[in-house]
């Protein structure tokens, strides 16, 4: 019985000690500098003028020619939403989504509205820990930039 108690105490103390050495996320500034170092032309770190909508928009019946926003004046209108991933830096990325299945001014059913994608660099958290900090690795992901009309 004493051996069992001793084993439980040792296990509990080892577990408590283990919890103090957990890996932490690096600072946002560190991640920003790493992404800039690995991909100096990263557009994600610049201030974006793309503002996500507070509520999802619907397909308009006609082109909004009076709008100052290009996404409203397009025959393939789009809006923006947040793409969020807590294991990535940046965690939040603004991406486009198409408002219509077809094109606003086209009566042809052979025209479709689809997103135009661009590969962008991001850092993904790995399970590795170095100096009590998670290691982040460079990856490229596809993010919708705007929508275009094309023949089906």
Q: Model pTM?
A: 0.74
DSSP letter at 74 equals S
pLDDT at 105: 78
Q: What are 73-93's pLDDT values in tens digits? A: 999 999 999 999 999 999 999
pLDDT at 18: 44
Model confidence at 120, pLDDT cuts 50, 70, 90, reads: very high
Domains of the chain: 27-151 (2.10.90.10)
46-77, pLDDT tens digit by residue?
A: 555 666 776 778 899 899 999 999 999 999 99
By mean pLDDT, which of 17-21, 52-56, 125-129 is the weakest? 17-21
Which has more confidence, 138 or 49?
A: 138
8-state DSSP, 48: P
Residue closest to 75 by CA, chosen among 111, 116, 118: 111
Q: What SS3 class is residue 13? A: helix
What is the structure's pLDDT at 55? 74
DSSP 46: S
């Amino acid at each position: 019985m004493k051996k069992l108690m001793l084993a439980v105490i040792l296990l509990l103390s080892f577990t408590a000690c283990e919890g103090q050495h957990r890996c932490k996320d690096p600072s946002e500034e560190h991640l920003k500098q790493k992404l800039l170092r690995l991909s100096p032309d990263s557009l994600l770190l610049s201030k974006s003028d793309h503002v996500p909508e507070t509520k999802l928009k619907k397909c308009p019946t006609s082109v909004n020619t009076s709008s100052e926003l290009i996404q409203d004046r397009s025959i393939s209108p789009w809006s923006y939403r947040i793409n969020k991933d807590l294991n990535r830096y940046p965690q939040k990325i603004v991406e486009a989504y198409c408002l219509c299945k077809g094109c606003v001014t086209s009566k042809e059913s052979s025209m479709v509205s689809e997103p135009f994608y661009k590969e962008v660099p991001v850092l993904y958290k790995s399970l590795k820990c170095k100096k009590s900090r998670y290691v982040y690795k460079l990856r490229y992901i596809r993010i919708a930039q705007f929508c275009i009309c094309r023949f089906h």
